Structure 1
Amino acid sequence: MHQLRKWLTALVAGAVCVMGAATPAAALGPDRLPITVGNQSGRSEQVFVHVLGTNLATGQLGWVDGGGTFRAWPAGSNPPSPAPDSAIAGPANGGAVTVQVPRGFSGRIYFSFGQKLPFSLTPGGVVQPAPWAAGDPTRDMLFDWSELTYNDSGLWLNSSQVDMFAVPHSVSVTGASGATRTTGKLVPNGRQQIIDALRADPAFARSVVTRADGTVLRVLAPGKAAGAGLLSATYLDSYIASAWNAYTTRALTVQPFGDRPEVRYTGRTSGTTLRFTDPSGREVAVFPRPSSSDVWGCDGALHAPNDQVVGPIARTLCAALFRGTLGASSTEPVLDAGQFYRSTPPNLYGRVIHAAMTDGRAYAFAFDDVGAFESLVHDGDPRSARIDLTPFGAGTGGGGGGGGATTGTGAVTSGVAGKCLDVASANSANGTAVQLWECNGTNAQRWTFGTDGSLRALGKCLDIADWGTANGAKVQLWDCASGQSNQTWVRDGSSYRNPASGKCLDNPANGSANGNRIQIWTCYNNDAQRWSVPGA
């Protein structure tokens, strides 16, 4: 099993979560892997690319130049000295540039708009950008990064929102078979959807960072926002206490290995300490109640050592607290995404980041790979890879999968002639059924598709009941919560897909009877899932 590890350097301002292989296999893939950076951002500024990281064979820190050669950093100084220029000229809007990454490399690919990123060196290593820190030279710069490891076991490439979300981008890898895997695409207008949802919440509003010229530079992850004084440092404390106390009267079972369900540990809380025993009754791990900071960073009381017992339990606990399932569950990890981000107070950042992704996958925190919810692509025999800077505004980018932004007001007509999406009895109460009905032009059939991906009627939103993700989960009318994953719909051909569940709006059996209750179902793009939405 591949596990997240931190790429550690001296005075690194932010840890990078990348994937590594525990046991090298036969060398696969080219000596230098071509990684193409495409630019469909819609922005006019010059893009610069920096490839920074570690030579895995020597342990040296350095950068990769335009020709694919790894170059070690020279010695630094105190105060830090400027690093050599590592910038590679990136693509103009609509263009692409290919960089070569040598096998045996792990690190980051940065991309910045308008300016090269400034790096500096100390005697211990390179100082990474930390725009959440006062006085950091990148605070007013628009940039982001992807993370990668390329070694004898293949390529791991992921987008990351662990520290912040700034530049929408997807990542892809193509293997020797010609198959391409892609993740990280946003729903139409997904960047703005994230920004709007956080700005609308008083607790998170200040985590949206805007430059003096009005450019939204980034949304800070909760740990970084709290560290900068932009989010309450105790935001999750009440939830953590409630979740921790839940296991004073009942047991928590942790099964940390998906491929080894027989490995399980039992936890019970005593005072403020959660203690775990193995099946023999031997105590194997002890965790004091963590702080909000510990949860945001998956560290401190939740530090996960690289072992086979304490580390896996710690990862599972942090994932459960970040996603808000701990306390409501008897077994972790919970693998039903419909149960995530429902705790009080809610982790709005995690919720809206995942809801904005077309496949629901993101790296909103260090251990988002628990249950495989991370925005990661891997191939053991790669031939090429891509990072696509996708549109900042309406639309999805990076090679298809979803249409442009849909907006407008009117009837939503079904694949069944003469039938429309209808709110039962024109009742605006929460929980009212949404059904098929003869088109009649009433307000019960007057829907507005917003740029945030919501579909609204009678002042409420089309909502998947009980956050369901399984085939047959019914849809209903409910109070709107911008960016909420069970109220987000993306055009996919003639169908409308909910990214969190991966399922499509469906008319059961393509029935034509008035009152046929609408549901979600595996996407087939058939007549039962064809809808004509205003503005589409």
Structure 2
Amino acid sequence: MRIRSKLCAVLAAAATVAAGLTTLVAAPADAVPATIPLKISNNSGRAGPAYIYNLGTNLATGQQGWADADGNFHAWPAGGNPPTPAPDASIAGPADGQSITVRMPKFSGRVYFSYGQKLVFKLTTGGLVQPAVQNQDDPNRNILFNWTEYTLNDSGLWINSTQVDMFSAPYAVGVQLADGSTKTTGHLKSGGYKGFFDALRGHSGGWSNLIQTASDGTVLRALAPTYGVEVGALPASAMDDYVNRVWSKYSSETLTVTPFGDQPNTKYYGKVSGNVMNFTDGGGTVVTSFQKPDSASIFGCAKLLDAPNDLVRGPISRTLCAGYNRSTLLTNSNQPDPNANGFYSDAVTNHYARLIHDRMADGKAYAFAFDDVGNHESLVHDGDPRQASITLDPFN
């Protein structure tokens, strides 16, 4: 099963989510039952049917599959080449103004929702083919849909809204605690949905090309810039000027990275030499090096900014990725920068992420893969969850 966001694999381990976060403390194994309720409320204002899909990996067996409304797991059958149709895993969603409650099993995966028609899923010999709407020929290209990511395991529930791949149908997520209180995130400010698209349309430099519309002109989504570069909608040079200035600065200065919020004495020191930024530890030993990144590497937090699941290169790379996307590397030589008021202030920045954060009610979002560096992500967690929630919000 293909999960693009870096979050799900990390949450499945219930360990440190990313740089800047402290290590999560596991709850007693008996604190979390086999399934918990998931309440889905439709406040979208849209007429017509909605469909829900709960797809992921069964954490007890490692099998990939889907859960029905009662929380029962169904493994995917074998796929083919070319891909074969997947079983219909849809659950009838709530009508506008209504709610339904289904059961959420111990999964790491996604809850999709679509409006008007069902999503198309297929199976290859390698597993599930998920929507990839940057491809004009993807069967889901003209369907209005979105998804949340979550992990429910013996240590609790992590559930987040995500814009790592696209900004589309608005929604929020939540978790109810044992004392009856709730934590929520993902709601937009009033006017935030339309405001985001209006602002993106008004931005020069190709950013408006990220918007995808239906044949009748209805807005469906905005692609994340990593896919904008991939399909040629956004110039591959979008971040070049900023990178060149970073390279110039740290040819003579030192960039200090403190990648773990709970380990302030663990620091690495970056210095540019030619086309490489070398990082040394406190003893002066080179621990990892990075080639000069391009826009695709920055927006995708991958390629030349690859972040393996280790304790050195990965954490440094996550911090660099956040610094480039938020354009804080020139204004603060100590990273990660904790001051969100200074994020995205350079003319060359990830404007997609800037506009999303600006329109979130709580300022939190997953607008790029490592937006959780410094705890700026739209994630809620509890070690003893009583109920999860997804609220389908209005398009205003």
TM-score range relative to shorter protein: over 0.9
* Residues 1:353 and 2:343 aligned together: no
Partner residue of 1:17?
A: 7
Q: Specify the SS of the correspondent of 1:367.
A: coil
What do residues 346-366 of structure 1 show as CA deviations (whole Å, max 9, x unaligned)?
Answer: 321111100010110000001
* Residues 1:249 and 2:231 aligned together: no
1:33-432 alignment to 2 at 5 Å? 33-103=36-106, 105-202=107-204, 203-393=206-396
Q: Distance in 2 between matches of 1:42 and 1:376?
A: 25
Alpha-carbon offset, residue 381 of structure 1: 0.4
Q: Distance in 1 between matches of 2:81 and 2:246?
A: 45
Q: Specify the SS of the correspondent of 1:382.
A: coil
Alpha-carbon offset, residue 279 of structure 1: 0.8
Aligned AA (2:116) = G
Q: Distance in 2 between matches of 1:72 and 1:229?
A: 37
Tell me if structure 2 keeps the 8 A contact 1:247–1:327: no
Count of paired positions: 382
Q: Specify the SS of the correspondent of 1:242.
A: helix
What do residues 237-274 of structure 1 show as CA deviations (whole Å, max 9, x unaligned)?
Answer: 12112112211111111001111111111111101211
Q: Distance in 2 between matches of 1:97 and 1:131?
A: 28
What do residues 456-512 of structure 1 show as CA deviations (whole Å, max 9, x unaligned)?
Answer: xxxxxxxxxxxxxxxxxxxxxxxxxxxxxxxxxxxxxxxxxxxxxxxxxxxxxxxxx
Q: Distance in 1 between matches of 2:331 and 2:248?
A: 11
Alpha-carbon offset, residue 385 of structure 1: 1.0
* Residues 1:32 and 2:21 aligned together: no
Q: Distance in 2 between matches of 1:386 and 1:214?
A: 31
Aligned AA (1:300) = K
Q: Distance in 2 between matches of 1:117 and 1:211?
A: 15
Q: Specify the SS of the correspondent of 2:245.
A: helix
Alpha-carbon offset, residue 16 of structure 1: 6.1
Tell me if structure 2 keeps the 8 A contact 1:47–1:112: yes
Alpha-carbon offset, residue 342 of structure 1: 1.5
Q: Specify the SS of the correspondent of 2:308.
A: coil
What do residues 312-344 of structure 1 show as CA deviations (whole Å, max 9, x unaligned)?
Answer: 101000000011111222100001011111123
Q: Specify the SS of the correspondent of 2:353.
A: helix
Alpha-carbon offset, residue 214 of structure 1: 2.5
Q: Distance in 2 between matches of 1:245 and 1:183?
A: 39
Change in 2 beyond 3 A, CA 1:43/1:16: farther
- Higher Cα radius of gyration: 1
Alpha-carbon offset, residue 14 of structure 1: 4.1
Aligned AA (1:290) = P
Q: Distance in 2 between matches of 1:55 and 1:24?
A: 19
Alpha-carbon offset, residue 24 of structure 1: 5.6
Higher relative contact order (CA 8 A, sep 6+): 2
Q: Specify the SS of the correspondent of 2:253.
A: coil
More displaced, 344-353 or 287-296? 344-353
Aligned AA (1:128) = Q
More displaced, 239-248 or 187-196? 239-248
What do residues 46-84 of structure 1 show as CA deviations (whole Å, max 9, x unaligned)?
Answer: 100000010112111100012111110000000000000
Tell me if structure 1 keeps the 8 A contact 2:307–2:315: yes
Alpha-carbon offset, residue 13 of structure 1: 7.9
Alpha-carbon offset, residue 29 of structure 1: 2.3
Q: Distance in 2 between matches of 1:86 and 1:379?
A: 28
Q: CA RMSD in A?
A: 1.3
Q: Distance in 1 between matches of 2:324 and 2:36?
A: 38
Aligned AA (1:69) = N
Percent identity (aligned) = 51
Q: Distance in 2 between matches of 1:386 and 1:297?
A: 29
Alpha-carbon offset, residue 26 of structure 1: 2.2
Change in 2 beyond 3 A, CA 1:16/1:38: farther
Q: Distance in 2 between matches of 1:361 and 1:75?
A: 39
Unaligned runs of 5+ in 2: 16-24
Tell me if structure 1 keeps the 8 A contact 2:3–2:109: no
Aligned AA (2:54) = V
Unaligned runs of 5+ in 1: 1-8, 394-536
TM-score (normalised: structure 1): 0.70
Q: Distance in 2 between matches of 1:62 and 1:244?
A: 45
Q: Specify the SS of the correspondent of 1:226.
A: helix
Aligned AA (1:363) = Y
TM-score (normalised: structure 2): 0.94
Tell me if structure 2 keeps the 8 A contact 1:82–1:121: yes
Q: Distance in 2 between matches of 1:181 and 1:67?
A: 24
